[in-house]
A and B are shown apart, each in its own frame.
Chain A
Amino acid sequence: MKLANRRIRLVLAVFACAFAAMFLRAAWLQGVRAGSYERLAAGQQRATIVDPGGRGAIFDRTGVQLAIGRQATTVYANPRQIRDPKATAALVAHVLKLDPQTVELALSDRSRGFTYIARKADPERAKILKKAGIVGLGFVNEEQRVYPLDDVAAQVVGYAGTDNHGLAGLELGQEDKLSGKPGSETVIRDPSGRAIDVINSTPAHEGQSITLTLDHTIQAQAESVLSRTIDQWHAKSASAIVLDPHTGAVLAMAVERGYDANRFPLVPKDRQRNRTVTDTYEPGSTFKIVTVSAVLSEGLVTPHTAFTLPYEIHVADRVIKDAHPRGTERLTVDQILSFSSNVGTITLAEKLGATKLSQWISRFGFGHLTGIDFPGETQGIVPSLQNWSGSTIGTLPIGHGIAITPVQMAAAYGTVANDGVWMQPHLVDRVGAKDRPAVVSRRILTRRVARQVRKMMQDVVIEGTGQEAQLPGYTVAGKTGTAAKPDPRGGYSKTKYIASFVGMVPATNPRVVILVTVDEPAAAIWGGVVAAPAFQQIAGFDLQYLEIPPDAPQTLTHQ
C-alpha cells in the first residue's frame, strides 16, 4: 500500500513538474518573449499590399487614348540572399533581356540588402522569372505610362516619369487631376500565401481622366503635312495650330520633328518642347491685320480708302521697302493687305499714331499670356510705348521688333474669324465627368470690322500673296508672313527666315483657323510659297473630315 502511494506521489510529482515546466514555458513565451514572437509572426503572416491608385488616362475628343496606364512588373533583389550571383544574373538577364554583366554586378554587391534589377519590366517576362522561384528575387506590380499613338501630339501630351509623376506637357500641367491617391490593405496570410483576413483597408483613389479638345486624326494629318513640308523645303522645323474660332478649342497643335513619347529619355529636350506655346517668333506680315483692324476700328479709313505709296518709306533713321521693287502706286487699304505692302501698312500706322497702335496690339492679346491650359506659356516680347524708338512705328506695324507665340497669333486670327470676339484657346475639354468652366472671351472688334478684315484677307488668297492657299469649293481668307530671324551677333540674318501663313475656312463662316510656321526653310523663304501650301493641305483635309460643305461650289471641278 505504502509502495503504491509512493508511486502515485511520484507520478503526481512528475506531472506537477511537467505542468510547472509547461506553465513556465507558456509564461516565458506569452510574457517575456511575447513581443518578439508577435513581431515575427506578424512578419510571416501579415502583408501590406499597396494599391498605387492609377493615373488618369488622357483622351482626345473622340475618346481615343493618348496616354494610359499599363501594368508592369518591377523586379528587385536582395543580393545577400542570392546564392549564386553569376548563374542567377545569367538567367535574369536572359529572361529580361538585360546586360548580364550589369545584373551580375548588382547581385554580387552583398553590402546592400536591396537593389532594383528592372523597373517596370514586361509582366510576361517577369512571370517566367517568378516561376523559376529564385530565392532573393522579388516582384512588385507597378503602373507604367504608355502613349499608344507614339509620336502623335507628343509635345502636347508630354510624359510621366518612372515614378508616374508628370514631367512635361499636359502630363505635368494637369498633374493634380491625373495623379491618383494610393491606398493599402493589410491582410493575414495562411502558410500557402492566401489572404484569410483583412486587418485594415484604405481604398485607393484613381486619378481623374482628362478629355482634350485635340482630335488625333486632325493632329496626325497636320503632323504629316508639316513633316513633308520640312522635307520639301529643307527646313529646320515647322509647327501648326488648328483652332475652332467659335469656342477657342484647339483641334491640333503640331510641332515637327516630333518624337515618340514612349522613348522620351532618348530625345533631346529641345525636340520635346511644344513650341507653339513656349517659344516666340517675329511674325512679319501676318501681324499686319492688327494694324489694319485698328485703323478700320478707329474709323480712320475704309477698305476702299486709297493712298499714293512709293516703293520705300523713311522712318526715323531707317528706310523700309516693300518686298518686291515697284514704282509709286496708288493702293487701297484692301490692296495694301492683299499685296502685303510694308510701306502701305506703315502709312496706316502713322495715321493711327503710336499710342493707339500700342493699345491695339495689347488689346489683341500680344504681350499677354493667352491663359491656355498648357504649362510654360510665354507672353512674348512687346516693347512698351515708353521704350519705342523713332523707327518703332515703322517696324511694329509690319510685325518686326516684336516676339509673339504662335498660339497668340492663332487666337488673334480667331477673333477675326469669330466676328470680333476673342476666345481663350484651350486644350482641356473635360476633367472626369465635369465640363470645363466657361471659356474666357472678350469682344475686340465690331462684327462689321471683323467681316471687312475677313473680306480683305480673302483677297490676299484670291489675288495677293496667298494664292497657294486656295481650296476648290471653299472660300479662304488668310495672310502670308516672311520674317528674317534675329542674328545673335546683332541685326537680322540674311539667310534664316520664318515663313508663315495664317488663315480661316470657309471665309464666309469660318469653322477652323489654321496657323502654319516653317522655321528656316532653305529651298524658298516666302510664306506664300512655303507655308500656304501646307495650310491648304491641312485645311482641305479638315474640311472633309469635319464634314463642312463647300461654300463656293462653283469653283469645284467635278470629276
Chain B
Amino acid sequence: MVWIGGLALLLVGVVALNVAVLRLNVRLDEVGQERAQLRADNAQLSSEIASQAASGRIVALASNRLGLAPASVSSWTYLDLRK
C-alpha cells in the first residue's frame, strides 16, 4: 500500500512540475512580447524626444511664438576665474 501511495505522489509531482514548467514558459512568452513592445515604445519615444529636442525646432519656436532672438556677442560676459 505504501508503494502505491509513493507512486501516486510521484505521478502527481511529475504532473505538477510539468504544469509549472508550462506556466513559466507561457509567462516567458508574455514577458518576451512585453519586452518587444517596450523596446518598440522606447524607440518611438526616443525618436519623438530627438525630434522635439532638436535645437532648430526650439530656436524656431522661440523666435516665432515668443519673439525671442539669439543673444548678441556683446551681451555675453565671461568671467576669468584665475583673476
Partner-B contacts on A (CB < 8 A): 54, 64-66, 68-71, 123, 141, 146, 148-150, 152, 187, 190, 194-198, 216-217, 220-221, 224, 471-474, 540-541, 543-544, 547, 549-550, 556-559
Residues of chain A within 8 A of B44, CB atoms compared: 70-71
A445 to B73, CA, bound (A): 33
Partner of B56, one of A65, A220, A558, A559: A220
| Chain A, Cβ-Cβ closest to B73 | A473
**B70 near A472: Cβ-Cβ < 8 Å:** no
CB <8 Å contact, B73 and A543: yes
Are B54 and A220 touching (Cβ within 8 A)? Answer: yes
0 or 1 for each of B13-54: is its CB under 8 Å from A? (1 = yes): 000000000100110111010001001100110111011011
Are A196 and B51 within 8 A (Cβ)?
Answer: no
Q: Is B72 an interface residue, CB under 8 A from the partner? A: yes
- From DSSP, what is the main secondary structure of chain B's interface residues? helix
A80 to B30, CA, bound (A): 32
Q: Give chain A residues whose Cβ lies under 8 Å from the Cβ of B25.
A: 195-198
For B72, list chain A residues within 8 Å (CB): 559
For residue A260, give the distance in angstroms from its CB to the closest CB of chain B: 12
Residues of B within 8 A of A (CB): 22, 25-26, 28-30, 32, 36, 39-40, 43-44, 46-48, 50-51, 53-56, 70-76, 78, 80
Kindly provide the distance from the CB of A523 to the nearest chain B CB, expressed in whole angstroms. 25
**How long is the Cα–Cα vector from A550 to B74 in the complex, in angstroms?**
9
Known A148-B51, A149-B51; contact A558-B43, beta-carbon cutoff 8 A: no
Taking a contact as CB atoms under 8 Å apart, the answer to whether B50 and A71 are in contact is no
Select one of B43, B54, B55, B74 contacting A556, CB under 8 A: B74
Q: Is the CB of A148 within 8 A of B26?
A: no
- Give min CB distance, A95 to chain B, whole Å: 19
- Provide 5 A-B residue pairs closer than 8 Å at the C-beta atoms, listed in order of the A residue: A70-B47, A71-B39, A152-B56, A547-B78, A550-B73
In the assembled complex, which residues on chain A have CB atoms less than 8 Å from the CB atom of B50?
A: 64-66, 68, 148-149
Cβ–Cβ contact B43 & A68, under 8 A: yes
Known: A195-B26, A543-B73, A544-B71. A146 touches B55 (CB 8 A): no
Asked if A224 and B56 make an inter-chain contact with CB atoms under 8 angstroms apart, the answer reads yes
Contact B55 A217 (CB under 8 A): yes
Option from A149, A194, A547 in Cβ contact (under 8 Å) with B26: A194
Chain B: CB-nearest residue to A149 = B54
In the assembly, what is the distance between CA of A149 and CA of B46, in Å?
Answer: 12
**Which chain A residue lies CB-closest to B50?**
A148
With contacts A141-B36, A195-B28, A196-B22 taken as known, whether A146 is within 8 angstroms of B74 at the C-beta atoms is no
Which of A71, A152, A198 sits near B43, CB closer than 8 Å? A71
Residues of chain A within 8 A of B32, CB atoms compared: 195
A-side contacts of B39, CB under 8 Å? 54, 71
Complex Cα gap A152–B80 (Å): 35
Shortest Cβ distance from residue B62 to the other chain A in the assembled complex, whole angstroms: 13
The CA-CA distance from A540 to B76 in the complex, in Å, is: 12
Q: Which residues of A contact B40 (CB under 8 A)?
A: 70-71, 123, 141
Q: In the bound complex, what is the Cα–Cα distance between A196 and B28 (angstroms)?
A: 9
Chain B: minimal CB distance from A464 (Å): 22
Contact, CB under 8 Å: B74 / A473:
yes
Residues of B within 8 A of A544 (CB): 70-71, 73, 76
Q: Which residues of B contact A472 (CB under 8 A)?
A: 73-74
Chain B residue nearest to A72 (CB atoms) is B40
Is B26's CB under 8 angstroms from A196's CB? yes
Q: Which residues of A contact B53 (CB under 8 A)?
A: 64
Closest to A187 in B: B29
Is there an interface contact between A152 and B54, defined as CB atoms closer than 8 Å? Answer: yes
Interface pair A69/B43, CB less than 8 Å apart:
yes
Kindly list chain B residues whose C-beta atoms are within 8 Å of the C-beta of A66: 50
The chain A residue sitting closest to B71, CB to CB, is A544
Which B residues are in CB contact (< 8 Å) with A123?
40
With both chains docked as a complex, state the minimum distance between the C-beta of A53 and any C-beta of chain B, in angstroms: 12
Let me know if A148 and B54 touch, CB within 8 A. Answer: yes
Q: How far is the CB of B74 from chain A (nearest CB, A)?
A: 5
Tell me whether A540 and B73 are in contact in the complex, defined as CB-CB below 8 angstroms, given that A195-B26, A195-B29 are known contacts.
yes
**Cβ of B54 and Cβ of A559 under 8 Å apart?**
no
Q: A196-B22, A559-B75 are in contact. Are A65 and B47 (CB under 8 A)?
A: yes
Which residues from chain A contact B55 at a C-beta distance below 8 Å? 216-217, 220-221
B35 to chain A, nearest CB (A): 11
Would you list the 7 A-B pairs with minimal beta carbon distance, nearest first?
A: A71-B40, A148-B50, A195-B29, A220-B56, A549-B78, A217-B55, A65-B50
Shortest C-beta distance, B58 to chain A (Å), equals 9
Which chain A residue lies CB-closest to B26? A194
CA distance A217 to B58 in the complex (A): 10
CB neighbours of B22 from chain A (8 A): 196-197
* Known contacts A54-B39, A146-B47; 11 further A-B pairs (Cβ under 8 A): A71-B39, A148-B48, A149-B51, A190-B26, A195-B29, A221-B56, A224-B56, A543-B73, A544-B76, A549-B78, A550-B78
Give the residues in chain B near A540, CB-CB below 8 Å. 73
Residues of A near B43 (CB, < 8 A) are 68-71
* B46 with A68: CB separation less than 8 A: yes
Residue of A nearest to B48 (CB): A148
Interface pair B47/A68, CB less than 8 Å apart = yes
